[in-house]
Each structure stands twice: as C-alpha cells, then as structure tokens.
Amino acid sequence: MTEKGIFFAGPDHHAVEGLLSAAGLPVEDIHLCSMDHFIGYRTPSGTLSGVAGLQLFGTVGLVRSLAVASTLRQQGIGQQLLKQIEQHAVAQGVRQLYLLTTTAKPFFLRHGYQEADRAQAPLPIGQTPEFSGLCPATASFMHKSL
Ligand SMILES: CC(C)(COP(=O)(O)OP(=O)(O)OC[C@H]1O[C@@H](n2cnc3c(N)ncnc32)[C@H](O)[C@@H]1OP(=O)(O)O)[C@@H](O)C(=O)NCCC(=O)NCCS
C-alpha cells in the first residue's frame, strides 16, 4: 500500500482538518500552523490519508497531528510519517522534540520517545494551544533528543 502512495510536503489545510477530526485529534489551531512543516500521505486515488506536523521553536519542536486513516493503519504509514517529520525537524535545526498523545504512547515509546514531566516543558512548548488547552491534562507528554 505505502509503495503506491506518495509522501509530500505542504498538504491542504482543509484536508488535514478532515483527517485529524476523523482521527479524534485537535483541529482548532491548525489554521495557525504552516503547512510547510506538515507531511502528507496521499493514496493513488488522491485522498489525503496520513499526516504529520511540526511546530518549530528554534532548536525545539513539537510533533503534532500524526494521523493515518483508520482503514490504512498497521501498514507502516504512521512510522514513515514520523520518520519523515523527524528528518524534517533535523533539517530545520531542531535538537529536542516533544509531543502530546492520549492514545499512541506505546507507538511513540517504540520509536525512541520517553515520557517527560510537563512541568519541565520548554516555555514555547508550554505556550502552544495544544499543550495549554487542546490536549487533556491526562495526555502523555513525551520527549526525544535528535
Ligand atoms: C498512531 C497512528 C498514527 C499509527 O499509524 P499506523 O499507520 O497504524 O502506524 P504503523 O503502521 O507505522 O505502526 C503501527 C503498528 O503496525 C505495525 N506495522 C508496521 N508495518 C506493518 C506492516 N507492513 N504490516 C503489518 N503491521 C505493520 C507496526 O509494527 C506497529 O506495531 P506496534 O504498534 O505494535 O509497534 C494511528 O494509529 C493513528 O492515526 N491514531 C489516531 C491518532 C493518534 O492517536 N495520533 C497520535 C497523537 S499525535
């Protein structure tokens, strides 16, 4: 499946919102995000079926909005999206990556992230809408050094 689809930068805002909504992820602040730092996965029929995003704060980044359409999960698309967004982060000079997740903690643990203390979050991460309100306080806060 993945060999037939295409990974690409700069997916359409509205398509991203639709995919994230279907996956139960926050969309309220998507309009504030530059799609230049989002990677999409498109099926041969042209449907946006996967996405991963990055918010940049100098050498610190927030991975967000990682989602794969439910019918295409468990095929490696999610891990490829994560790998590509991490490579993009490195290219942008990011050294420390953070994320919040309510449902995918085991997935991120398997990809080198460790649970972190929210109180120790770098200031710009703590000020993001995702951190300060859109994700529940029970969400796991995770970190990876690149
Ligand atoms: C988290 C999420 C993005 C993972 O996407 P995915 O495409 O299913 O991820 P992958 O297929 O790469 O990996 C999932 C599992 O499939 C397995 N897998 C990978 N390639 C495979 C293949 N070719 N065949 C069978 N299984 C495969 C992986 O080993 C992995 O197993 P694990 O979870 O036991 O480690 C997806 O579940 C999702 O959209 N969840 C809802 C949104 C969410 O919670 N996002 C995270 C917060 S930002």
| pLDDT confidence tier of residue 3, bands split at 50, 70 and 90 | low
Residue 104 domain-assigned (yes or no)? yes
Number of domains comprising the chain: 1
Q: Pocket of ligand 1, candidates 1, 19, 25, 68: which has the most ligand atoms within 8 Å of its Cβ, to mutate?
A: 68
Averaged pLDDT for residues 125-145? 87
Residue 1 domain-assigned (yes or no)? no
> In this predicted structure, what is the pLDDT of residue 32?
87
- Say how far residue 2 (Cα) sits from the centre of its chain: 18
Closest residue to atom 7 of ligand 1, CA basis: 78
Range of 49's domain? Answer: 6-145
Quote the DSSP letter at residue 139.
S
- The binding-site residues of ligand 1, defined as CB within 6 angstroms of any ligand atom, are 23, 25, 64, 66-68, 73-79, 101, 103-104, 107, 110
Say which CATH number the domain at 58 has.
Answer: 3.40.630.30
* Ligand 1: centre distance to CA 131 (Å): 23
Tell me the C-alpha distance between 10 and 112, whole Å.
Answer: 26
> In this predicted structure, what is the pLDDT of residue 60?
97
Quote the DSSP letter at residue 142.
E
With the CA atoms of 41, 114, 100 and 77 taken in that order, what torsion angle do they form, in degrees rounded to the nearest 10? Answer: 10
Residue 83 domain-assigned (yes or no)? yes
- Percentage above 90 pLDDT, the chain: 84
pLDDT single digits (tens) 11-31: 999 999 999 999 999 999 998
CB of 48 within 8 A of CB of 28?
no
pLDDT single digits (tens) 4-14: 899 999 999 99
